[in-house]
Structure 1
Amino acid sequence: MRFSLALPTGVVRPEQAVPFALLTQRTAAHRFWQGQGMVLDSHHLTVWLAGLGIRVPSGFGVSLMPLRAPYQAAVEARSVALSTGRSVVACFGPGGPAGQRGFQGRSYAGQLDACREYVHIVRGLLAHGETRLSGAEFATSARLAGLPAPDVSVGLGVLRARMAKLAGEVADVAVTWLGSASYLDGTLLPALREGAARRVRTGTDAGTGTGVDTHASPRPPRVTAYVPVALSGPGRAAAELAQAACGAHLQAPHYRDALRRSGIALEGDGGADDARKLVDGGVFLYGTVEEIHARLDEYRAIGVDEVVLHTSGVALTKGPRAAVDDLERVLEAAPDPAVR
């Protein structure tokens, strides 16, 4: 299992991302991940870092589909690969219906169908330089200029079993968030395997009418688990850190439903009591370096390919320097020498 790290908060100046990108480079952490940039665009920021000489494998997830057409998504992902000379993982998600209406004036008629079509277009362009699709949400007949570039993998953000099954059918990577190791093991990973089996069994990109899916792979998608972590210490409280990291998500219906399915019943509006349940339920990892790694080993044991250490709770309450320190200590103690 590989360890990566995430830029823990949105930044307003590109210099603020430098310590985290340098940490990726210096510790040989596998990949530098960013979420959806709402102030500075994540792709632009990665290219800016490359201009400084900080060229590391990058991951984007989960990028919101309503904010970019699939053709543009393919161009941006390959642009980063060309600029950095390193591999890229580009993962997408539809967001909630309210966000879809706010961004594009309407929600998708079918959430899963929209994701299926979007990934099919992006993967076709990146893998073969062209794609043709006439779907319910997206219709594209286009080419990318043929240029050699580092590998770009395409993925889906996964919260619940239906999206996991779809990712198994159409994606290279499945990215999870707010999922304990037990929830992944009992719900998401079986659904991914079911989807992958269907792709192999049918040889079709079901639901798009495109016939044989020439982008298909016989193995389930790689699994990347975003895991919020914080080291314990003086002046730190687990519930406060968990609320800072996850409180906004705890108010969204689709996140609340996913947590309920994992056995974590939220009763409030995302406050400290709900946040504490994330700690108790193994979603937010808090403790000593040894205790953190003991919980991370649970992800290793079930076959997760990559864990992304997410220190947003520390960054928001104690500052970015403290978040860098936490990441450095956790990475230095990683059992795999490749990430030291």
Structure 2
Amino acid sequence: MQLSETEKVVTAYSVLLPFLPRRPEQVLPYAALVQWTRAQRLWQGQALYVEPHQGFAYAAGAGFRVPVGLGVTLMPLRHPYEAALQARSLAMATGQPVIAGFGPGAKQFQRGLLGASYTSPLTAAREYLTVIRRLLDGDIQSAREGEYFGCGAELAAFPAPRVDIGLGVLRPGMARLAGEIADVAITWLTPASYLRETVVPALREGAEAAGRPVPRLTAIVPLALNRPGHTAAEVALASNAAHIRAPHYIDMLRRSGVDVAGDDPLTHAAALIKGGAFLSGDLLDIAAQLADYRVAGVDEVVLNVTGVCNVSGPQAAMEELKTLLAELA
């Protein structure tokens, strides 16, 4: 099935690694996919097996030097100096620009690593990203201390491809903060209507308050083509079972009109589809739904076929990505 040029409407398509790699060589086929297709970037969320920076550096060493995005790594895992150093090191290893996305993570994760959760995740994120930006820019004011983070050291200057700083965004407060200080706002499981009506206006509000351009918007979008043997709700649940149990995702989904009340996970997964948080259908259906992301103001859509990988395996996920990229990108 071929799409018309008017149906290929999103500015850029990228690829999410659809599983948590346990060996670095598992990253290579997806890096190769980005290198050999029109996909713009390879993305990975936080992983606690093969750490994303190291997996991407391994791929670069194997010859696949592609643009990458970290969407998102979790702030409690590393000091902002280490975060800036790792992100720039990755840019130097790949020879490509890097989007280094960060987020505070769930409160339980914060308590597990730090002993206590951030009283104000917004303040913590503001301080964290501010220190990283100053370090990467060589700003001598990077020694300023905050409530959660500060840094009295400088990052040794050295030429490297640009590192853009991203902030994980689910709700209006974090979106306004991204508008103030981030290069890229990164969303996950957010319906296009919610981006248009809530996230993008908050991004603009924050940017206007700071007197700066509105940051780019990257949406990591879970989706699947119709497939025999599995209902769309089963694939959606396989993709997002953890997210629909997390309080911050539940709150975002309810704000967006997705009914995740009750205790039945499969019912919740069906609600994701009905509410536009998980896209399904044939190629034309998905193209039409992705067009809504462009209208909402999204600059980059990251194709997330984790559900396909979980129900049908990595080979099926790879074939799905190839099909989508061939027709959409």
What TM-score does the superposition give when structure 1 sets the normalisation length? 0.92
Residue 186 (structure 2) aligns with: 175
Residue 25 (structure 2) aligns with: 15
Q: Which runs of 5+ in 2 are unaligned?
A: 1-10
Conservation of the 8 A alpha-carbon contact between 1:14 and 1:48: yes
Conservation of the 8 A alpha-carbon contact between 1:250 and 1:270: no
Number of positions where the alignment pairs a residue of Structure 1 with one of Structure 2? 318
Query: After the TM superposition, which residues 293-308 of structure 1 pair with which residues of structure 2 at under 5 Å, given as runs?
Result: 293-308=287-302
Other structure's SS at 1:125 match? helix
Residue 154 (structure 2) aligns with: 143
The code of the aligned residue for 1:260 comes to: R
Other structure's SS at 1:142 match? coil
Residue 251 (structure 2) aligns with: 257
Query: After the TM superposition, which residues 98-247 of structure 1 pair with which residues of structure 2 at under 5 Å, given as runs?
Result: 98-128=108-138, 130=140, 131-200=142-211, 218-247=212-241
Q: 1:13-58, CA deviations, whole angstroms, 9 ceiling, x for partnerless residues?
A: 1122222111111112100001001111100000100111001000
The code of the aligned residue for 1:145 comes to: A
Residue 3 (structure 2) aligns with: none
Q: Which runs of 5+ in 1 are unaligned?
A: 201-217
Residue 320 (structure 1) aligns with: 314
Aligned mates of 1:185, 1:219 — CA distance in 2: 18
CA pair 105-284 structure 1, distance change in 2 beyond 3 A: same
Aligned mates of 1:269, 1:11 — CA distance in 2: 30
Aligned mates of 1:11, 1:62 — CA distance in 2: 16
Aligned mates of 2:69, 2:13 — CA distance in 1: 13
- Which residue of 77, 93, 106 corresponds with 2:87? 77
1:268 offset after TM fit, Å?
2.9
Aligned mates of 1:325, 1:133 — CA distance in 2: 49
Residue 288 (structure 1) aligns with: 282
What TM-score does the superposition give when structure 2 sets the normalisation length? 0.95
Q: 1:51-100, CA deviations, whole angstroms, 9 ceiling, x for partnerless residues?
A: 11001000001110000110000000000000000000001000111110
Conservation of the 8 A alpha-carbon contact between 1:243 and 1:270: no
Aligned mates of 2:63, 2:145 — CA distance in 1: 41
Conservation of the 8 A alpha-carbon contact between 1:66 and 1:104: yes
Conservation of the 8 A alpha-carbon contact between 2:18 and 2:304: yes
Percent identity between the aligned chains?
A: 50
Other structure's SS at 1:134 match? coil
Other structure's SS at 2:70 match? strand
Other structure's SS at 2:57 match? helix
Other structure's SS at 2:272 match? helix
Q: 1:252-291, CA deviations, whole angstroms, 9 ceiling, x for partnerless residues?
A: 1111011000011212346110001001111101111111
1:3 pairs with 2:10:
no
Aligned mates of 2:173, 2:265 — CA distance in 1: 28
Conservation of the 8 A alpha-carbon contact between 2:88 and 2:163: yes
Superposition CA RMSD, Å: 1.0
Residue 6 (structure 2) aligns with: none
Other structure's SS at 2:229 match? coil
Aligned mates of 2:281, 2:302 — CA distance in 1: 17
Other structure's SS at 1:333 match? helix
Other structure's SS at 2:14 match? strand
Conservation of the 8 A alpha-carbon contact between 1:43 and 1:76: yes
Conservation of the 8 A alpha-carbon contact between 2:38 and 2:325: no
1:329 pairs with 2:323:
yes
Other structure's SS at 1:141 match? coil
Other structure's SS at 1:4 match? strand
The code of the aligned residue for 2:241 comes to: G
CA pair 270-15 structure 1, distance change in 2 beyond 3 A: farther
Residue 4 (structure 2) aligns with: none
Shift >4 Å, 4+ stretches: none
Query: After the TM superposition, which residues 44-83 of structure 1 pair with which residues of structure 2 at under 5 Å, given as runs?
Result: 44-83=54-93
The code of the aligned residue for 1:187 comes to: T
Other structure's SS at 2:153 match? strand
CA pair 111-290 structure 1, distance change in 2 beyond 3 A: same
The code of the aligned residue for 2:199 comes to: L
